[in-house]
Amino acid sequence: MHDPRVLLDPATDAVRRLARRGYALDVTALEKLLSARNAAIHRGDEARAESKRTATSVRSASPDERPALVERARELKTVVADAETEARDLDAQLQDLLMGIPNLPADDVPDGSSDDDAELIRTVGEPPVLDFAPLDHVDLAEKLGILDLPRATKLAGPRFAVLRGKGAKLERALARYFLDLAEENGYTEFSVPTLVNRETMTGTGQLPKFEQDLFKTGVADRELYLIPTAEVPLTNMHARETLAVDDLPLAYTAHTPCFRSEAGSYGRDTRGLIRMHEFSKVELVRIVEASTSRDELELLVTHAEAVLKGLGLAYRVIKLAAGDMGFSAQTTYDVEVWLPGQQKYREIASASDCGTFQARRASIRTRTADGSRGFAATLNSSAMPIGRTLVAILEQGQQRDGSVRIPEALVPYAGFEVIEPA
């Protein structure tokens, strides 16, 4: 969330910067609400000050003067109450407006709104050269007997999966491998709730704008949401807290199921494990001093890349265009893995610097040794989604005889080297 005064400061250039995201900032509405709220607060403060002076005068007034002063005190009490009510109502309207304004993109983020506008940062590893026609992951997994989509559909409908045998073991092995790498890179592992309240979803920017993308449920009289990513609970663990700058950065990781309705993506990647309603993922979150967030992003993306390097998978890193970034991000790097079955790179992870945007929403503050206060910066990255990594392993590891050789780093976790056709 933004400080409205910063958005209205010409030096911020908010209108132009938000236009790069495709968002039209209504400066008139913002100015009007801010001015009206401040005027109501000022009116209430003045009436409250006069009320105190009047109360003092009543005590020393003569009998003739006292009735008029008492009546004035009653009038001022009403003015204060009315001003407070008006200020609350206007502040609620102002907050609603601010909650819907996305983060300002960094100046070095490229213009545009699609993958075609992204900036290529680096390519790592050579895509495998296969001397046969590669299969996509669904055909491969079904021939291997490790994926059962019809039974998943019977259980829950489309965009769910059932993994069996070595497929299920590989899923478990990947989670353990990802978490071990995260720990080696200094992250503390957490086990967190996958059901959270509205305030928690609001803190990281999923609400109110993206309610249609979430699965909502309830327990007794509580409104709860299934998390779309562990970023939500990990970041909000420090909501409404003040952190000592000397204790930063904080580096957290968690392996959780993730739930997404995929509203608005009808028809996209409906076959297989690319775009699911339920999937599991290991997430990395960093909470840092605001002035260091850009350097922290460069570090974070290397932690995400470490997973793919360790698995020997070919990938590339791109910087997303302003109009293609998530709501809370000011800079995002996407990590894209090579899929022979599609003959293209596909997103497998995103690493985002949110600056102070989420910290303002969740009220995550910082305090220096000399007492100076500010807001923290938050960053997050997948490291990695289990399903999409499994897709890459199957497609890049496929052999002419229909088998799949798994990466050497996973063998100690999985207990096997090859998945043979069923």
The DSSP line for 123-141 is: EESPPP--SS-PPPHHHHH
Q: In this predicted structure, what is the pLDDT of residue 368?
A: 96
Pairing verdict, β 215-219 and 222-226: antiparallel
Q: What is the CA radius of gyration of the chain?
A: 27
Q: Is 211 a catalytic residue?
A: no
Residues of the chain with pLDDT under 50: none
Rounded distance, CA 187 to CA 132, Å? 41
Rounded distance, CA 281 to CA 284, Å? 10
Catalytic entry in 260, 286, 346, 360: 260
Q: Is 261 annotated as a binding residue?
A: yes
Pairing verdict, β 373-385 and 278-289: antiparallel
Q: Is 350 annotated as a binding residue?
A: yes
Average pLDDT score, the chain:
95
Q: Is 283 annotated as a binding residue?
A: yes
Q: In this predicted structure, what is the pLDDT of residue 264?
A: 56
Q: Is 350 a catalytic residue?
A: yes
Q: Is 260 a catalytic residue?
A: yes
Pairing verdict, β 364-367 and 241-244: parallel
Q: What pTM, to 2 d.p., does this model score?
A: 0.92
Q: In this predicted structure, what is the pLDDT of residue 176?
A: 98
Q: Is 381 a catalytic residue?
A: no
Q: Is 231 annotated as a binding residue?
A: yes
Catalytic entry in 172, 198, 275, 367: 275
Q: In this predicted structure, what is the pLDDT of residue 270?
A: 66
Q: Is 349 annotated as a binding residue?
A: yes
Q: Is 400 a catalytic residue?
A: no
Catalytic entry in 51, 360, 388, 395: 388
The interaxial angle of helices 137-144 and 386-396, nearest 10 deg, is 80
Q: Is 230 annotated as a binding residue?
A: yes
Q: In this predicted structure, what is the pLDDT of residue 64?
A: 84
Strands (E) across 220-296 are located at 222-226, 241-244, 250-259, 278-289
